[in-house]
Structure 1
Amino acid sequence: MNYPKLNFVGILVLIFCMVSGYSRAQDSTIYKLKSSLDTARENTVRVDIWVNLAQEIMNTSIDEATKYLDSAEALSEKIEYRSGLANVYKVRGSMSTLEGKYAKALSSLSKALTTYRQTGDSSNMARTDWLLGNVYSSTNNYNEALRYYKNALEYFVALKDSKSVAALNNNVGTIYHIRGNLDSASIFYNKSLLTYLELKDKEGASTNYTNIGNVYADREEYYKAIEYYNQSNGILKQLNQTLGQAVNYLNMGDVYMHLKDYGKAHEYVKRAMNIAEKEGFGSLLTDQYYTVGEIYEAEGKYAKALEWYRKSELMEDSLLNTEAKTALIETQTRALEEAQKRELEKINEINSERLKTEKLKNSLLWVISSSILLLLLVATVYFYKRARVARKIKQQSVQILDQKSKIFDQARSIAEKNDSLLEHNARLEKLNEEKNYLMNVVAHDLKSPLNQIEGLAEVIRLEKGNLSSTQLECLDNIAVSSHRLSKMINRILDARAIDSDSKSYEIKDIKLRPVLLQTITNFAPLAERKQIDIVKPLRLANPTVKGDKHYIQQVLENILSNAIKFTPQGKQIDISIDLEASRAIVSIKDQGPGLTKEDHKNLFNEYAKLSAKPTGDESSTGLGLSIVKKYVGLMGGDVWCESEDGQGANFKVALNLA
């Protein structure tokens, strides 16, 4: 599915409802507030009016809104009006969120929440929790976003605010959807839908129909998805809301592409494009062009696909340029104002300089005489330095001759050491061959008795009715230990096979996304046991790379296994696929202890033991990453790690595009 469309409907609509829902009749509201400010006598009333004005104006003028908030904050502190101060912090937090200053937003909203708790204002506590959830969602910290949304949900349920409960159920559903928990997402979306239907809120219901459609699409129940998209569009047509209709048509085009009904896929995306072009929805056109490219790629029409992908990039660049021009105009306006201010300051300085002119005349004579003395001093220093340089050159000539003699002696010594090293290296190569032979013999000889141990354990398990719980536990330990030992032996044999070029592989064109998704699925139970979230982008790229499918699977499994081993319980692992020139790069970023400088040196060496330890007492042979390095090298790719001690590790695998 085309995830960005889901994210647009699920999260951004609700943020708009909370932060920007005042746009209707905004001018008349601002006029009334300013008029009431002139007649307000109570200080608390003035504070409330300033806060309301800031909230109305912040979408159009951050600077003007800031002035109102500064006035409200100063007066609230003076008269010790705590509710007014909390409202100031809340609106500052909303404003910082609009600007993308998320750290500042979190600071302001946390202050607001603390003050509301002190005053017992549960309604504003709920709204502040909601805003904090939005900030954490914007920074992809979904665990914290979920916590604050659920806090807000509890408050609004107690306050019997059905509309807010519906909106927050939708938000919680969207977070679960982003994290890949489709069952929980469906539950919360349906809760939200039922409430909106009871409230006869058509706009809210249409949003949920779209989101539920997205869940069915992700489950590959495509006809159910189309049914829900059509229900959403039926409402949106009544409301004459073209943006939502365009999003649904785009989703339906994406679904028909997965059903391989390319004619209908093109038809629905074309409907979406007609709306976007007519209404000027530039960012939506970017997604639509990209989806057309995906449809052509699925049809095998690669030249057409490339053409539409480029159109998508050009549209995105165009939107960025428009934003840059707007920012430039704002910067130039501020620069003009500052220039005018500097001109006034210069006029004041000129007046001040006139008073100083007389003093300068008296000082001029002293300056001239001082300058002459300074020039004489500089000349003396110059000639002294020249004499000193000449002496230095003479000394250096003697030193150079001495160094030449030493270099000759060193060259002779190096030649002798080189002969010794060559002899030593030959001995080491022979020892290494003997070591490899011994390890192969040991590994192969261990496999037979190990298989017998596993077989005997299974035979005993068949008689489990006659065994005590302690005996059954011992059997489980035997199975786990033998499996671990078997895995270790296989890794040793793999490493030896690669070194001896006896391991066969086949380089073919491989679709990267399915291999990565299968790896994530394989390791999902292991991650769940440690309560670790595996987070991937909403639209995961699907490039075709040159490689051996088994090798790619082994590489990704080794790295993801390590990420789970070293990530503490309750944290997350971020996975992405990026395209760079002629390569596809898979990134697997954990939140473990990171790597020291010494760890970086030994990272891909065989049997390397790093300073960090697995967080769940998992075992480690020290062979996994060395095998990864060799497999990636055989496929003509590259692997590296970006990490600092204490800040997690980001492993990156680069493979050549087909």
Structure 2
Amino acid sequence: MRKFLPILVACCFIFASARSQTPQDSLINQLKEANADSTKLNILFKLIGDYQFIDISKSLAFAEKAIEIAELNKESTSYKGNAYTSYGSLKSIQGDFASAIKYNNLALNIYYQLKDSTGIATAYNNLGTNYSSLGKFDEAYFYHTQSYRIALTSAKHKLQQAISLHNIGVVFKDLGQFDRAVDYLNLSLKISNEIKDLEGEPYHYSEIGDVYIRKKLYDSALTALKLSLKFTRERKLSINELEPSIVLNIAKTYRLLNNNTLALNYYDTAFVSFKKNDNQYGLAQIDLGRGLVFMNEGKFADAQKLIERSAEIAHQLNAWTLEIECYENLSKLLEESGDYKKALSYNRQHQQLKDSLFSQGMQAKLLQDQVRFETASKEEQIKALTKMEQLRKGEVKKQELISNILVVAIALTGILLFTVYRSGQRRIKINKLLLEHQDEIKKRSVELEQLNKVKDKFFSIISHDLRSPMNALAGILDLMDKDKISPDEFKKLNKELRVQFNHTKTLINNLLDWTLLQMDKLKIQFEKIDLNQLAESNITLLTSLHLKEIKINNLITPSQFALGDSNMINLVLRNLLTNAIKFSEAGHLIEIAAKEDDNNYIISVKDQGVGISPEVQKLLFEKTTGYSTRGTANEKGTGLGLILCKEFVERNGGEIWLESELGKGSTFFFTLKKFS
């Protein structure tokens, strides 16, 4: 548990500079010579602080003297409250929690009369600490939450907020609600770090270590406890009551790890500190710990003696939690020793005290206080935030006024410098924007030029490649209608008509697909594609449409399946086969094959045609340029087919390329993913 003594510190402030210059015996001489009660009380408070961890009996004597003077002087009400607080804290250090509660309640009444929020918060916190040590957790929770609520009323009480939240976490730890305990401990540490409270981390890791002990995570417990001890010693903090508690828990951890030698060493170290402060509660804890070590070693007589002495002290101090633990272990010890009757007696005492401490009434009260506190905390936080916002606005207005005055004082210089600076910044910004706009214009120009070329190509195809065959067909039909062509002559023209029709049909299909592609209307439907069947269907279709005596071999096996859009890949293969037929002579051979390459298929269409020069190869897949030439039988082309092939293959996640040499034929390749 953390304690808070801001009142004692405030009262001794006027003597702070004398601490390094004047030893305690000099202060005692000053006390003898002092006449005014206020001077005497200030010296006494200084002596109480100096002696509390050096010689607690002297510190108590000074506190009793302070109470005596403050009670006789009716004008020393605030000093009286401070004297009661000091005496209660000293009694708490000694483990006399009943006396500590008495004097903290006296202090609380005085602080309420004085409307001293700092004093009220401190008294509530000290009372909560006292009740928690006695195992009265419902009372402890009530007082700690009251302390926190008072601390929330002012931003200057951040330290008290951190302490109250820390102690609420300790209450939940003692109740076994470890997750909630850690939440409060972490929140407390966050506030401590914000205000650079050096004592926050040692207290935090001390309690986190105790949580780990209770959760039986002993290695983690040792890490946290030793870190707490390290912080306490390195920072040379004035929290001497914490160090023996940390050492005590380290001893307990080693005992639970069955390292009896180290456990006893740490118990001995803690004993020296508790003995020095005459802390009976701490000494009782040492007796219990040592007794349990002896019990582990089978030294039952020594163990019984120590644990019974611990139980007796705990009973005198009304320290119920410690008393319960003593009875529980005495019952186990005597049962192992074979004294079942006495073991049963201690077990009954343990159970009765435990039932009394953790009664349903206490738990119900604790739950009600918890709900009330959490609801009130939210309301207080809202009020505090509202007040802070109002203060912030007031501070902003004040700062604005100061700023305006300063601006007037340096107006000419400021305006000149600002104007020069802004002018330079504006120039830089304008230049940057101009460069960005120039880059954007260049980019748009390139895009428009490409679109223009695409548009010109489209119109060229429509105006020439589509219109010419349609006009030729219309002319022939007109001659037939006028009986100017005989059946024999029409039969001769039939071959040419079929070629023109096939070319026009392919052209229209390509134009439609290309238009949909440019409008982004084509949606890809990935599915399983039987490459062998796809090749066969195209071979059958193209063989029937073309008059050239060209043989097409399908080398794709029936077990080769790819993943893609079957309509798109069908068009790709058909265009590649059509081009192969177009540029092959009668009697030539065309081969379609598919080769595995990791997770892909490489599909190829190889012909023995005229081949393609390197210069033309660079133009074949360009959208804006394209390339077209007549086939071996004077077949026309638009260059659109290969552009479609490239876009369709890429949209299916593949690549397309070719290998060709003039006079030796060409091979077009494209890739598709395997179907799995």
- Common fold, TM-score beyond 0.5? no
Structure 1 or 2, whichever has the larger Rg, is: 2
- TM-score normalised by structure 1 residue count: 0.39
